[in-house]
Structure 1
Amino acid sequence: MGFQRPSLAELMARVDQDLLSRLSRLSRLPGAEAALATRLTQALATSQAGVTHGLYGYLQWLERQLFPETCDDDLLHLHSAGVPRRQPAKAGGAVSFEGSDDAVIVAGTRLQLDDQEYETTEEAVIAGGTASADVVALEAGSAGDQAAGAALRLVSPIPGVSGGAVVGADGLQGGADLEAAGSWRDRILLRRARVPRGGAEGDWEGWALEVPGVTRAWEDPLGMGPGSVVVRVMADDASDGPLPSQQLLDAVKAYIEARKNVQAQVYVSAPNTKAFQPQLIVTPDTQEVRNAAAQALADLVEREGEPGGTLLISRIRAAISLAPGVEDYDLQAPTADVTHAAGELPIWGGVTWVQS
C-alpha cells in the first residue's frame, strides 16, 4: 500500500494524544486546572499539526516535481534535456511601396497594422512608381502573420512615399508563439519514449515537432518508395493555418536534414485534408449545448485524426455523450467509422444541425 498523507484532523488527534500521554500527571490536577491544561494541549496540538501538515504538503509537492508527467509548468525545464521549448518567432515577408521615383525607404522604417508593428530590413528606392522591401515584425508571435494584400501604414511619413505599403503575394509568414507548456510536456514525454537514433522510427516526427510553428506531425516511412521518408505537418496555431506555409515546410525539411544520419530522401508536406462535418441533433437543443458538443467533436478530430487513419464511430459518440449539458443526441451522420486514404487527414468542418 502506498504512502497516505495524514489529514490535518488526524495529525491534531495524534499530537493531542501524544501530549496527554507524556503529561499524564495533568489528569491528577483539580477539575478547573485539568480543563485548562487540556485546552492548552489542544492548542499546542493544533499549532504543531498545522506546521506538520504543511511539511507533508511540501513533500508531496516535491514528489510531483520529480517527474515530467506531474511537475509544475515552470519547472519543466528541469526535465527537458535535449527537448528545448519552441521559442516565439517573428513574422516577415515582402511588402510593396508606391510613390515618386527616387524616394528612399531606409532600413528600419516602421509600419503598423492594428497593434502589430514592422520594420524594413533593407533600404529600398522607388523606381517606376513602386519599390519592394522585406519587413519583419518587431514582436514575435503568430499575430504578426498577415495575408497577402493587407495594408500597412507608415508610422512616420516619408516624403515622396504614399501612406503605407501592401503585403506581397506570399503574405507575412513565420510568426510563432511561445510553445504551450502542455505541448512541450508532451514532446518531453515523447522524447523519453523514443530516444533519437539518427533516423529511426519516431525520430522524424520528433524533429518536425521541434520546429517553431509546427503543432502536429506524422512520419510515413517509404512513403515515396524505397529509401524515402514522408513527413507531414500541421500548423494549427498559425493565423492562416491549419495548413503549413511553404516557408514552414522548408524550415522543417532543413531542420531534419541537419540531424539525420541515414541517407533517406526526406519529403516534407502538408496532408491532404478532408472536412469532417457531422449531422447532429442534441437535447436540450440550446446554443450552449450545441457549442459544447461541437467543441468536443473538434477536439476529438484534432486529437485523434491522423493521415490515413480512422475516426472510430464509438469515439465520436463518446465525445458527444461527454460534452457538458448533453442529455441525449441523435447522430445522423456519420453512422460508421470514418476512414481516410493514405496521406489524407480529417479536419474540423463544423456541425450541420438538424432540427428535431
Structure 2
Amino acid sequence: MPYARPTLTDLRQQVVQDVQNGGIPGVVTLLRFSVLWVLAMVQAGLAHLHYGYLDWISKQAVPWTATDEWLEAWGALKSIYRKEAATATGSIAFTISSNADIPIGTSIIAGGVTVITTSDSVISGTTATVACAASEAGASGNIALGAIATLSSPIAGVQTSGTVTVAFTGGADQEEDEDLRDRIMAAYAKGGANGSSADYVGWAEAVAGVTRAWVNPLGAGAGTVVVYVMLDSVRSANGGFPQGTDGAAAAESRYQAATGDQLLVANAIYTERPVTALVIVCAPIAQAVNFTVSDLGDDNTSDNQAAITSALQDMFRRLSAPGGTIHPNYWNEALAAIGLDQFNVTSPSAPVVASSTGSMPVLGTVEFAS
C-alpha cells in the first residue's frame, strides 16, 4: 500500500509526545510559547521539509511522475526532447507609389502581433511584398490570411497599411510537461524505431504544435505512407485542423511539396523515415456531426448545456480519427459521466461513419430540449 506521508500537524504532535514521554527527563508537559514548545515546532517543521524533499525525489525517480528538467532527462534517454517554442513566418504586401523599398529588419504590426521583415521587399508593379517572422516565438504569432498590417514607422513611398498575403504559420508554444510525458511514456513502451505506424505517429507528434497524428499505410499507393495531423492548440481557431496544402517534404522529388503546417511535418519526417518510403502529410477533412439531446427535464440549464458540449468535444478529440467510426456508446458514456438525472440523444441515432478515408467526424451543432 502507498506510504502515508505524515502531515505537519502529525509531526508536531509526535515531537510533543516524544518530549513529554521521556524525551527530556523531568518534562511532563509543555507550555505554549515556552522554549521547549518552540523548539518542538521547529523540529517538526524541519522534518516536514525533509519529507517533502524525499517526496519530490521519489517523483523524479520515474518518468511517469517526473517534472521539468528531470522529465527532459528521462526523455533524452529515448531521444525524446521537449518541443521548444517556434516562431511563425509569413508574408505581407504593401502598396507603393514609387520604387520604395521595405528593408530587412523593419517592424510591422500585423493582426495585433509585432513581426519583423526577414529580407528586403520584392517589388512587382505597385506592390512590395516582404517575408516576415513574428518577433517572439509562440502560437500567438500565427496570423490569418488577409489580416491588416501596419508599419510601425512610416517609410517614404510606402502606404502605411498592408495585408497578410501568406498566412503566418509554424508558431507554437513550448511543450507542456503533460504532453511531453505522454510522448516519453509511449517511447518507453514501444522500444526502438523501425518504421512502424507508431514511429510515424511519434515523428509527427515531435513537431512543435502537433497534438495528434494517424497513419494510413499505402494510403496513396504502393510505397506510400499517408500521415494525418491535428494541431489542436495552435490551430484552435480552425478547430485544430492544419493550415496549408497536403503534400510531401520539400526535398522529396517524387511528389508535390506540401505547404504551411503540412510542410513542417513532412520535412521533419523526411529525415527519419525509411529511405524508400514516400511520406505524404495531409489534413483530415472535417465531417460535422450535429447532436440533439432531449429529455433533459430540469437539467436543461445553461451550465449543463455547456458541460454537455464540452463532454462531446472531449469525446471527439479522444476517439475520432480519419476514416474512423464513432459509436453511440461513446457519446452516451461521455454524457453519463456528467451526472445528469436523465437525457436522450435522439440524433444521431446510429454509429457515425466517416464518409471517406480522410474524413474525420467532429462535433457540429448541439440542440437541447427538456
* TM-score (normalised: structure 1): 0.86
Query: What is aligned with 1:304?
Result: 319
Find the residue that maps to 2:197 and give its secondary structure: coil
Q: Distance in 2 between matches of 1:304 and 1:318?
A: 12
Aligned letter for 1:303? R
Which of 61, 73, 81 is the equivalent residue of 1:78? 73
Find the residue that maps to 1:164 and give its secondary structure: strand
Larger Rg: 1
Q: Distance in 1 between matches of 2:268 and 2:124?
A: 38
Aligned letter for 1:58? Y
- Once the two structures are superposed, the pairs formed by residues 282-293 of structure 1 within 5 Å of their partners are 282=296, 283-293=298-308
- Once the two structures are superposed, the pairs formed by residues 1-356 of structure 1 within 5 Å of their partners are 1-8=1-8, 10-12=10-12, 14-16=14-16, 18-22=18-22, 26=26, 35=29, 46-73=41-68, 75-81=70-76, 82-124=79-121, 126-168=123-165, 170-236=166-232, 237-238=234-235, 239-240=237-238, 242-244=240-242, 245=244, 246-281=259-294, 282=296, 283-323=298-338, 326-340=340-354, 341-353=356-368, 355-356=369-370
- Please say if residues 102 and 120 of structure 2, whose CA atoms lie closer than 8 Å, have aligned partners that are also in contact: yes
Task: Give the count of matched residue pairs.
Answer: 347
Q: Distance in 2 between matches of 1:42 and 1:56?
A: 21
Aligned letter for 2:330? R
The worse-fitting range, judged by mean Cα deviation, of 307-316 and 271-280 is 307-316
Aligned letter for 1:86? K
Superposed CA RMSD in Å reads 2.8
- What is the CA-CA distance between 1:290 and the residue it aligns to? 0.9
Q: Distance in 1 between matches of 2:146 and 2:90?
A: 12
- What is the CA-CA distance between 1:91 and the residue it aligns to? 1.8
- Please say if residues 91 and 141 of structure 1, whose CA atoms lie closer than 8 Å, have aligned partners that are also in contact: yes
Classify 1:109/1:262 alpha carbon distance in 2 versus 1 (closer, same or farther; 3 Å).
Answer: closer
- What is the CA-CA distance between 1:6 and the residue it aligns to? 3.7
Q: Distance in 2 between matches of 1:4 and 1:106?
A: 65
The worse-fitting range, judged by mean Cα deviation, of 38-47 and 184-193 is 38-47
- Please say if residues 20 and 29 of structure 2, whose CA atoms lie closer than 8 Å, have aligned partners that are also in contact: no
- Please say if residues 201 and 215 of structure 2, whose CA atoms lie closer than 8 Å, have aligned partners that are also in contact: yes
- Please say if residues 110 and 117 of structure 1, whose CA atoms lie closer than 8 Å, have aligned partners that are also in contact: yes
Q: Distance in 1 between matches of 2:124 and 2:276?
A: 47
Classify 1:123/1:14 alpha carbon distance in 2 versus 1 (closer, same or farther; 3 Å).
Answer: closer
Find the residue that maps to 2:191 and give its secondary structure: coil
Classify 1:352/1:5 alpha carbon distance in 2 versus 1 (closer, same or farther; 3 Å).
Answer: same
The worse-fitting range, judged by mean Cα deviation, of 332-341 and 203-212 is 332-341
- Please say if residues 293 and 345 of structure 2, whose CA atoms lie closer than 8 Å, have aligned partners that are also in contact: yes
Aligned letter for 1:208? A
Classify 1:41/1:203 alpha carbon distance in 2 versus 1 (closer, same or farther; 3 Å).
Answer: same
- What is the CA-CA distance between 1:265 and the residue it aligns to? 2.2
Classify 1:332/1:131 alpha carbon distance in 2 versus 1 (closer, same or farther; 3 Å).
Answer: same
- Please say if residues 101 and 128 of structure 1, whose CA atoms lie closer than 8 Å, have aligned partners that are also in contact: no
- Please say if residues 111 and 164 of structure 1, whose CA atoms lie closer than 8 Å, have aligned partners that are also in contact: no
- What is the CA-CA distance between 1:94 and the residue it aligns to? 2.2
Aligned letter for 2:184? I
Aligned letter for 2:149? L
For residues 10-50 of structure 1, what are the alpha-carbon distances to aligned partners after superposition, in whole Å with 9 as ceiling and x for unaligned?
Answer: 54555455445546964xxxxxx855699987776555344
Classify 1:21/1:222 alpha carbon distance in 2 versus 1 (closer, same or farther; 3 Å).
Answer: same
- Please say if residues 100 and 126 of structure 1, whose CA atoms lie closer than 8 Å, have aligned partners that are also in contact: no
Aligned letter for 2:154? P
Classify 1:95/1:20 alpha carbon distance in 2 versus 1 (closer, same or farther; 3 Å).
Answer: closer
Structure 2 residues without counterparts, runs of 5 or longer: 245-258
- Please say if residues 278 and 352 of structure 1, whose CA atoms lie closer than 8 Å, have aligned partners that are also in contact: yes
Classify 1:90/1:241 alpha carbon distance in 2 versus 1 (closer, same or farther; 3 Å).
Answer: farther
- Please say if residues 102 and 125 of structure 1, whose CA atoms lie closer than 8 Å, have aligned partners that are also in contact: no
Classify 1:154/1:322 alpha carbon distance in 2 versus 1 (closer, same or farther; 3 Å).
Answer: same
Q: Distance in 2 between matches of 1:176 and 1:288?
A: 32
Structure 1 residues without counterparts, runs of 5 or longer: 27-32
- What is the CA-CA distance between 1:70 and the residue it aligns to? 1.7
Query: What is aligned with 1:29?
Result: none
